[in-house]
Structure 1
Amino acid sequence: MYNIKNSNELAKLINYTNLNNMTSESEMREFFEKAKELNFNSVVISPTYVPLAKEMLSDTNIKIGSVVGFPLGFEDTASKVAEAKALIENGADDIEVVINLNHIKDEKYDLIENEVKQLKEVIGDKVLKIIIETKALEDYEKANAAKAAQISGADYVKTATGFVSPNHIFENVNDINIIQKHAPKIKIEIYGGIDNYKFANQILTGGADLIGSDHGYEIVKRYKELRENTQVKPKPITLTKK
């Protein structure tokens, strides 16, 4: 299993996510307070709340992630580039772009590469993640999409929007293996259905670089309770035979 030393290290492997379009500002403020409590690697939120995140997380090192073309990826490249540019201007650090699945199905990988290159150019040194929705793809399509993302300068492949995500560890590990084989230089984030520490640990053991989870707070709190807040009083021993 993945060797996680403490809850701080675990939190740094999780992007705490809230992309619910019915979340109120007061609920989002509570979400950011939870993120600050456990110091996650990043929060992933809708574009609406990026300015609020910038305000509330200014005294932390938590990165702010947000989405472009979410959740279907149908928008044209110019629209996605404009969205990404606006997010950076509002304070986002990580940009997650849903790739156009029509292009993958039609094997128009040149269009995907062109789109990713333009996105990377506009966001500069910020992190670019390409969401490829693996549950909807054949294995060869996953491989080619990951290759296109790597060739054109993306930093991560993310496996799902959360709407149609793999729900079994073996599906996730299969996706990881494919991406690692065909795009070995790109990093991998697994998202969707990760709601407990056991599953999170399996994903990390399987080779993921990061986890995205709506349940990040519960995962880390539970780990902390089990590993750090459990008081076990050792029995006294002597080092000589009686």
Structure 2
Amino acid sequence: MVIYNIKNSKELASYINYTNLNNMITEKEMTEFLEKAKELNFNSVVIAPTYVPLAKEILKDTDIKVGSVVGFPLGFENTESKVCDAKSLIDAGADEIEVVLNLSYLKDEKYDLLEKELAAIREAVGDKILKVIIETKALEDYQKANAAKLAENCNADYVKTATGFVSPNHIYENVNDINIFLKHAPKIKIEIYGGVNEYKFANQILTAGADKIGSDMGYEIVKRYKDLRENTQVTPKPITLTKKD
């Protein structure tokens, strides 16, 4: 296991997918959000499908990836709808697609239907990044393991823990989820979402084995770290090694 020692704010931002899925956000507010993402150069932004073209335009001169969601937040749309939405997002310029797993199928152990759905979405996404959101807080451990294994078998790039509506809110819950994924789906990457709002928590998550962190507090996490580690200026007083008379 890697013990993370973040060297600077740029490295920290590279592990964070800065998220804003507010369904009532205005274009002006989204523009401000994207400019903040641009300022700190996050790994990606995760936004509503409506704003993918805007994000591609604002972030065109950066290496920040644009991610969006399919079947969000409940995941119970039919497969054809999810495939159509995924294709539409790719056509709009999205670099990453996050699809919410159908939890009804998972709990009913309809693994064949889940595998068919994920395989169809994988094909629609092509060489872009595919993440499968499985809402771990709502699942038993064996269900988490089965979901992650299904995602891995369908060549998804990431398994993601939550939509943010029902999220693990304690480090021990997150570490338990990470351990399950590492054991039962060791080839798939892991993204933790929900409740990560400070550097210390982010560092613990990465140390536990996560590859990325999704957070709507990404800007605050990196900015606070930057202010503490890089913007602290202390001018020492001059000293003398001779005794005063």
- Among 97, 111, 117, which residue is 2:113 paired with? 111
> Percent identity, aligned pairs only?
77
Q: SS at 1:21's partner residue?
A: coil
Equivalences for 1:118-137 in 2 at 5 Å?
118-137=120-139
Shift of residue 206 of structure 1?
1.1
What per-residue deviation string (whole Å, max 9, x for no partner) do you get for residues 8-66 of structure 1?
Answer: 00000000000000110000000000000000000000001001001111111100000
Is 1:170 matched up with 2:197? no
- Identify the residue that residue 141 of structure 1 maps to in structure 2: 143
For the aligned residue pairs, the C-alpha RMSD in angstroms reads 1.4
Query: In the alignment, which residue of structure 2 is the partner of 1:56?
Result: 58
Gaps of 5+ in 2: 241-245
State the match for 1:4 in structure 2.
6
Match for 1:233: what amino acid?
T
CA distance in 2, matches of 1:48, 1:96: 15
Partner of 1:228: 230
What is aligned with 2:243? Answer: none
Distance in 2, matches of 1:8 and 1:232, equals: 22
Q: Distance in 2 between matches of 1:78 and 1:197?
A: 40
Taking structure 1 as the reference length, the TM-score comes to 0.96
1:82 to 84, 89, 98: 84
After TM superposition, give the deviation of residue 114 of structure 1 in Å: 1.1
Select between 227-236 and 63-72 the one with higher mean Cα deviation.
227-236
Structure 2 residue aligned with 1:100 = 102
Aligned length: 239
- What secondary structure, in the 3-state scheme, does the structure 1 residue paired with 2:150 have? helix
Specify the code of the residue in structure 2 equivalent to 1:86.
S
Cα deviation for residue 2 of structure 1 reads 1.9
Q: Secondary structure at the match of 1:23?
A: coil
TM-score (norm 2): 0.95
Tell me the distance in 1 between the aligned counterparts of 2:98 and 2:22: 16
Structure 1 distance, partners of 2:56, 2:181, is 32
> Could you say what secondary structure the match of 1:189 adopts?
strand
- Stretches of structure 1 lacking an aligned partner (at least 5 in a row): none
Distance 1:143 1:229, change over 3 A: same
- 2:191 equivalent in structure 1: 189
Measured after TM superposition, the shift of residue 232 of structure 1 is 2.9
Aligned letter for 1:132?
A: I
Change (3 A) 1:235 1:181: farther
Which whole-Å CA distance do the structure 2 matches of 1:161 and 1:237 have between them? 56
Post-superposition offset of 1:196: 1.0
